[in-house]
Structure formats: C-alpha cells, structure tokens
C-alpha cells in the first residue's frame, strides 16, 4: 500500500536562458535546471555564462528557489579539461547542485568542489532499485530516473532505498534509452551524448516493405511520413499517482522550449500540486488544467512507461492530432488601476479586433477582444507589428507585471 508523503515535492522547471529562468520561478517553480557553457547536453540552448548564473541565483534566492546546473555529457578525454575549475566556479556562484552522468565528472566535481551537491542524471539510465542503492552508497543524495521506469518500479525504489527521487512528469521523450543514442552521430556526425543531437528520430522517413528490393514504399499510403519519434510525456491527468509514491522532485523537460511553454506548463503543475495538497482526499481533476496544457503542447501526449509498455499508439505516426497553436503575444510591464490601461511589450504581432487571453501565476486567466492600441508615444495604432515595441491596451480585468498575453494562431 502506498504512503502519501507529508510534504509537497519540488517542482523543477527547465530554463534555457536567464529570461526563462525568471519566468519559470515567477510562475511557480521551486527549482530550475540550466546549462553552462561546458559539459551540458543542450549545445544549442541559450546556455548560461557565469555572470548569468550569478544573476539567476540571486533572482532565485529572492523567491526561495534553487538553481541546478546540468553537466551531463558522456565525456571523452578531451572533454575533461578544466572540469575541476568549472565545478568550483559553480559552487562559488551559489549553484545548489549539479546534474552529472559520467563518473569522471563526478570525480572532478568532488575534487574541485567537494561541498557541491551532485544529482545523477537521467542519462545514467537508472531503472532499478539496486542501481539507486549503488548511488546512495556512493554518497549521492538524489537520482534522476530513466524515463523508461514504471510507477510500480518507482514504488519499489522508494520503499527499499532512502534517497531523493527525481522523475519526469512532462516533456519530450527520447526514442532511445534515456538519451543514449548514436543515430545523430551516425547520420550527421553530431554527438547526442555530448550535446549535439540533430533530432534524427524526428525526421520524416520512407518505410519499405521487408524482404523486398526497396521498390514497395508502404509509407506512401500513410497520412504522413514515418518517424521514429515518440509522443510527448504528460502526467497532468494522473499526477496524484506520482505524488502518493513520495517522489521528491517532479521534472519538466524543455530547456529549448519557449517562454510561453515554460510559463504555461509550470503554472498548470503548480496549480495541481497545490490543489492536491490542500485536500488530498477530495482532490478532483479540473478540465481547465488539461485544456491549458494543450495550449502549450507541440505534439500528441502520452503517459509513456508509467502504466504500461508503450505501443504504436504512443508514437508519432499517422494522422496527427489537431493541436491548437498559440502565440505569446505580449508581456505585461505595468498596469494603471485608474484607467485600466496595461503597458505591454509586444512579443508577436497583435491587432485591434484580436481575441486574446491574459494569464498569470496562480492560474489567473481571462479573455477579451482588443478594442484599442496605443504606441509608446500615445498614438493610436491598429496593429503592434514591431518586435518588442511598447504598447498600451485597455484591459477588462486587472493584470500584473509578468502576466502574459497569448493569442490563438
């Protein structure tokens, strides 16, 4: 029988750059994970300089949040240069923990920054309780589980090993074993295990009948080309099943995702966690939370390995779901209560007559039509078309700094 934990788990959000870090925390993340300029697996993310890390840590501290740094590459000899100094710099900045997969980098961290907390990355493919026990014996306080584990396997891990467990609840799934893939390297000479994944599994391929000379292309009869790509993970409809296992940290994937995505997904899971712990016995899923997740979804959604082995229904093949697409149209900078005028920084074009939706932390939402727009000089305009232009819009309800405005494409 499962035992419900007495405290809320950490909600851990991705932060591809400093702006995303601030949005994630503002919308309810307890911690964020970022990448530095070295040793991380997202080479094309807006990775952090030491100066940006310092600013991010200072911002997080004001909200009681933590910052973790992913240093989760599978290192080759040439990748180890400067590792000890790098980890010492992270510790001096105030990074709360580093996420590592390679034992050589664990050693380097312990030698360069012995007091810096280490979490074992999902890249280590931890999928059984004995491996969890191994890392506990090594003095590791937290492990990030492979995406391929079931809820029953997590239950056994928590029962048998006293260690913090971090598990993914939302985001992209890798077709290979928790990211251990050589397809990108083979096809593009970009090493997925050192941060250069070309996402080869998400390309479109022709599919030929087995045992023929390649002349029978069966993918021509399909609604779309064949991919090796999974649907995205989402536990938004099933989160209590994880909460009752006592998982310590609930992780959202997506350091490459947009600000709109990060804010929306964090906002939903924050609301679900808080609602559940307010009254666990009477918790009920609100359809509005599910609808909100779909405003940020980029692919179809699945529960992946948590309940059963995935089937072809969990793959991206055939006619795709019709997912509504939304643009992050503007960021609220200020609001005048007397005039009900909001100052908005444009992020995507919007115009008079558009139906837009404002949303903010604590799952605050309302919709309205834009009746009038003024530019920064107070001149009335019909459209806000210039990137980052400052506009003023009359709003139907109060808004606050860092609230966002979206519109359906």
Between 299 and 240, residue with greater pLDDT:
240
Q: What is the pTM of this model?
A: 0.90
- Here the tokens at position 158 are 């928590």
Average pLDDT estimate for 162-176: 91
- The whole-angstrom separation of Cα 259 and Cα 265 is 10
**Cβ atoms 357, 367 nearer than 8 A:** yes
Q: What is the pLDDT of residues 337-365, one digit of tens each?
A: 999 999 999 999 999 999 999 999 999 99
- Domain 326-408 bears CATH identifier 2.40.30.10: yes
Place of tokens 């918790």: 283
Looking at the DSSP assignment, which residues form a beta bridge with residue 327? 407
Helix (H, G, I), strand (E, B) or coil at 62: helix
Q: Average pLDDT of 219-231?
A: 73
CB 23 within 8 A of CB 42: no
Please tell me the predicted confidence (pLDDT) of residue 74.
Answer: 86
Residue 5 C-beta-side C-alpha neighbours within 13 Å: 20
- What does the buried/exposed string (b/e) look like for 386-407 if buried means 16 or more CB atoms within 10 Å of the residue's CB? eeebbbbbebeeebeeebbbbb
In this prediction, residue 156 carries a pLDDT of 98
| pLDDT > 80? residue 2 | no
Q: Please say whether the beta carbons of 274 and 243 come within 8 A.
A: no
Is residue 1 scored above 50 in pLDDT?
no
Query: What's the mean per-residue pLDDT of the chain?
Result: 90
62-76, 129-143, 306-320, 332-346: least confidently modelled range: 306-320
Where do the structural domains in the chain lie, given as residue ranges?
A: 10-178+229-314, 326-408
The model's pLDDT over 75-88, given as tens digits with 9 standing for 90+, comes to 889 889 999 999 99
By the 8 A CB rule, do 96 and 119 touch?
no
Instruction: Kindly provide the b/e burial profile for residues 304-340, where b requires at least 16 CB atoms within 10 angstroms of the residue's own CB.
Output: bbbeeebeeebbbbeeeeeeeebbbbbbbbebeeeee
CATH class of 10-178+229-314: alpha beta
What is the per-residue pLDDT for 3? 43
pLDDT per residue as tens digits for the range 360-400: 999 999 999 999 999 999 999 999 999 999 999 999 999 99
Q: What pLDDT is attached to residue 349?
A: 96
Q: Is 252 exposed, middle or buried (0-12, 13-18, 19+ CB in 10 A)?
A: buried
- Count of CB atoms situated within 10 Å of the CB of 86: 23
More confident residue, 238 or 209: 238
* Measured distance CA(387)–CA(368) in Å, rounded: 22
State the DSSP code for 9. Answer: P
Q: What is the pLDDT of residue 204?
A: 79
Is the pLDDT reported for residue 225 higher than 50? yes
Averaged pLDDT for residues 305-331 = 84
The average pLDDT across 211-221 equals: 69
Which phi and psi (to 5°) does residue 267 adopt? -60, -45
Give the mean model confidence (pLDDT) for residues 138-152.
97
């Amino acid at each position: 029988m499962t035992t419900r934990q007495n405290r809320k788990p950490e909600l851990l959000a991705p932060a591809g750059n400093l702006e995303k870090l601030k949005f994630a925390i503002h919308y309810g993340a307890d911690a964020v994970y970022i990448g530095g300029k070295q040793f991380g697996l997202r080479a094309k993310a807006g990775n952090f300089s030491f100066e940006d890390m310092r600013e991010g840590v200072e911002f997080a501290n004001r909200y009681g949040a933590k910052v973790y740094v992913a240093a989760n590459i599978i290192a080759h000899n040439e990748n180890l240069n400067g590792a000890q100094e790098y980890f010492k710099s992270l510790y001096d900045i105030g990074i709360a923990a580093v996420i590592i997969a390679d034992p050589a980098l664990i050693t380097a961290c312990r030698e360069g920054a012995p007091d810096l907390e280490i979490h074992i990355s999902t890249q280590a493919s931890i999928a059984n309780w004995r491996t969890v026990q191994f890392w506990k014996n090594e003095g590791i306080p937290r492990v990030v589980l492979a995406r391929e584990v079931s809820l029953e396997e997590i239950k056994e891990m928590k029962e048998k090993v006293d260690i913090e467990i971090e598990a993914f609840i939302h985001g992209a799934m890798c077709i290979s074993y928790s990211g251990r893939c050589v397809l990108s390297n083979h096809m593009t000479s970009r090493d997925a295990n050192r941060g250069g994944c070309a996402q080869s599994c998400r390309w479109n391929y022709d599919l030929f009948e087995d045992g023929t000379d390649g002349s029978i292309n069966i993918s021509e009869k399909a609604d779309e080309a064949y991919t090796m790509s999974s649907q995205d993970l989402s536990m938004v409809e099933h989160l209590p099943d994880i909460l009752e296992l006592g998982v310590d940290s609930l992780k959202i994937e997506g350091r490459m995702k947009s600000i709109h995505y990060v804010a929306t997904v964090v906002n939903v899971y924050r609301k679900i966690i808080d609602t559940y712990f307010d009254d666990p016995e009477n918790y009920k899923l609100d359809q509005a939370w599910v609808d909100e997740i779909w405003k940020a979804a980029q692919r179809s959604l699945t529960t992946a390995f948590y309940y059963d082995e995935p089937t072809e229904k969990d793959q991206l093949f055939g006619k795709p779901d019709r997912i509504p697409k939304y643009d992050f149209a503007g960021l609220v900078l200020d609001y005048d209560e007397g005039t009900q005028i909001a100052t908005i920084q444009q992020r995507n074009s919007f115009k008079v007559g558009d139906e837009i939706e404002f949303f903010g932390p604590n799952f605050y939402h309302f919709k309205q039509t834009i009746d009038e727009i003024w530019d920064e000089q107070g001149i009335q305009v019909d459209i806000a078309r210039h990137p980052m232009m400052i506009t003023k819009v009359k709003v139907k309800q109060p808004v606050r700094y860092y609230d966002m405005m979206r519109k359906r494409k």
